[in-house]
Amino acid sequence: MARARDESSPLFAGNAAGTLRLIGYLALALVLMVLDQRNGWLWRLRDTAAVVVEPVYRLAGLPAAGIHSLSAAFGDRQQLTEQNQRLRQDLLLANAKLNQMAAVAQQNQRLKQLLDTRNSLGLKVQLARVVGVDLGAYRYRIMLNVGAREGVKPGQPVIDAHGVMGQVREVLPTTSVVMLITDPSDAIPVVVARSGLRTVAYGSRDGAQLSLPNIPLAADVRVGDQLLTSGVGGRFPPGFPVGRISHVAPAATGMFLVAQARPAADINRSDEVLLLHDQAEPDGPPAPAAPVGPPLDLAPTAPGGSAKSGLTAATAPATHRPSSTGGVRR
Amino acid sequence: MSKYRDGRWWFIGTLAFALLLMLVPLPAVLEPFKPYWPALCLLYWTLESEDRVTLGMAFGVGLFADLFNGVLLGEQALRLCALVFIALRFRSRLRFFPMWQQTLAVLALLLNDRILLLVVRMLAGDAMPPASWWISPFVGAALWPFLTLLLDDLRARLRRQ
């Protein structure tokens, strides 16, 4: 097949036009990248193209989901029984702990009411499932199957049964992308549970660990210490486990201690996660408390002016009275 | 005419499948071994048919890839453009290489692609990736002979029918 060799396919030397075109395209790509870096175009584009993009994500997530359900369907019977047993034990343990905690929580609630603080132990959460999609190598992001339509907003913390996983980074109509705490560009304010030391945990380069690069030399940090979210910064609510210190050493400069921590959450394995609804403390001083007067039955019956509150105060005891008087009458 | 159109659908189909493969996750252990499928697919078509793959097409495929899994719009467009440009320039020679030489050439192209990506990410302010970053091009090159054989075979079968 003797083909006439035209100019577009020379054997050795290239032509100038091709090079020019390459330079043009490269310049275009560079401009796009810079603009995107500044303005976040990609996500706006993805948002508008969501009709096309999201089904593709679902399609790409199918193999992972299929393998998951296959392993459930053809799983070893013994393995499943074992898993069931273990889950039952976990549930029993968790329930026992919960019962114990309920009393403490109630007490805490009462004390907090006395102190007039507003943060509560109540959690507003939303269950989400991880869609198995590869969002690029070394990116430390996961995709969830809930999105703006379910009320997800960027910045929401994501947790699993063991601890904090990350926060919602981008939201599409029915999917959202979570940046994991192990992402090298992520930082999370933490507190060492044992000593109360506050510091910041960053994601590390290999993506499986957290690093705490600036702990004061004199600080009390040991291997095995638990890290909790400190709530500083208002993104993550305080008190959730973040990780456990696995390694402490002085930094090369000798000015700080550098610690490594293993994340508490099952970052590689979780397939169901919880989205916390924003409950960060609002900044600024608390709102002024409602004025508190003497107890109702001691309050003087208000004449005229503040009739409404006076009325309710007066009628409330009145409703109880007939029954008690009835008891007396009998 | 219809044969030509079939060929075109087959071409678009393989590209779309490559993009989809790029999105499909592997178990965490195998993650660094994942080859860059769209690059391999584009390379195959560049070497195989003369006028199908142009720089503009590579740019378009790259933009689609960015739309699906990129973090920066234009990143993969840039990489695929550079890759296809080099492949187009040396196409006549690459085609007549024996398979092992071709595989080495593909390895060089993929390594070059990784270096480009590294430069882009460093400029964007990312941290230096771990050593396993460099495994992927080798896996891609190792898969290259099988990929060409498979695609050639499929194409021949389709043509016969």
Tell if the CB–CB gap between B23 and A57 is shorter than 8 Å: yes
| Residue of B23, B33, B91, B120 to mutate for A, most A C-beta atoms under 10 A | B23
Give the per-residue pLDDT at B131: 80
Give the per-residue pLDDT at A288: 64
Q: Which residues of chain B have pLDDT under 50?
A: 1
Does residue A323 belong to the interface with chain B, where contact is any CB pair within 8 Å? no
> Mean per-residue pLDDT for A205-216?
82
Question: pLDDT band at A296, cuts 50/70/90?
Answer: low
Question: pLDDT band at A4, cuts 50/70/90?
Answer: very low
- Tens of pLDDT, residues A55-96: 888 888 888 888 878 877 777 778 888 888 999 999 988 888
Tell if the CB–CB gap between A137 and B32 is shorter than 8 Å: yes
Give the per-residue pLDDT at B105: 92
Distance CA A247, CA A223 (A): 6
Give the per-residue pLDDT at A280: 52
Chain A nearest-CA residue for B25: A134
Give the per-residue pLDDT at B145: 92
Query: Residue A330 above 60 pLDDT?
Result: no
Give the per-residue pLDDT at B40: 92
* Positive or negative: CA dihedral A48, B25, A159, A223: negative
Mean model confidence pLDDT for chain A: 75
The interface predicted TM-score of the complex, written ipTM, equals 0.80
Tell if the CB–CB gap between A36 and B127 is shorter than 8 Å: no
- Among A9, A37, A132, the residue with its CB nearest the CB of B50 is A9
Does residue A36 belong to the interface with chain B, where contact is any CB pair within 8 Å? yes
| Rg (alpha carbons) of chain B, rounded to whole number | 16
Contacts of A182 (CB under 8 A, 6+ apart): A140, A203, A204, A207, A208, A209, A210, A263, A267
Cα–Cα distances (Å) from A173 to A193, A278, A315, B20, in that order, read 38, 19, 51, 21
Chain B nearest-CA residue for A56: B20
**Shortest Cα distance from B25 to chain A (angstroms)?**
5
Contacts of A224 (CB under 8 A, 6+ apart): A244, A245
Closest C-alpha among B55, B95, B155, B85 to residue A5: B95
Cα–Cα distances (Å) from B49 to A13, B38, B44, B45, in that order, read 20, 16, 9, 6
Give the per-residue pLDDT at A136: 65
Domain count for chain B: 1
Query: A178 near A158, Cβ under 8 Å?
Result: yes
Cα–Cα distances (Å) from A181 to A229, A261, B25, B30, B58, in that order, read 12, 11, 20, 21, 35
Out of A18-22, A59-63, A281-285, A318-322, which region has the weakest mean confidence (pLDDT)? Answer: A318-322
> What is the residue-wise DSSP string for A111-175?
HHHHHT----S---EEEEEEE-----TT--EEEES--GGGT--TT-EEE-SSSEEEEEEEE-SS-
Show the domain range for B135: 3-160
Phi, psi (degrees; rounded to nearest 5) at A11? -75, -40
Give the per-residue pLDDT at A309: 43
Closest C-alpha among A193, A205, A200 to residue A215: A200
**Shortest Cα distance from A13 to chain B (angstroms)?**
8
Query: A222 near A214, Cβ under 8 Å?
Result: no
Give the per-residue pLDDT at A119: 53
Give the per-residue pLDDT at B109: 93
- Residue with the bigger pLDDT between A41 and B4: it is A41
Give the per-residue pLDDT at A161: 81
Written as six digits, the tokens of A312 are 């309710």
Give the per-residue pLDDT at A320: 43
Pairing status of strand A241-250 against strand A256-263 = antiparallel
| Residue of A12, A21, A134 to mutate for B, most B C-beta atoms under 10 A | A134
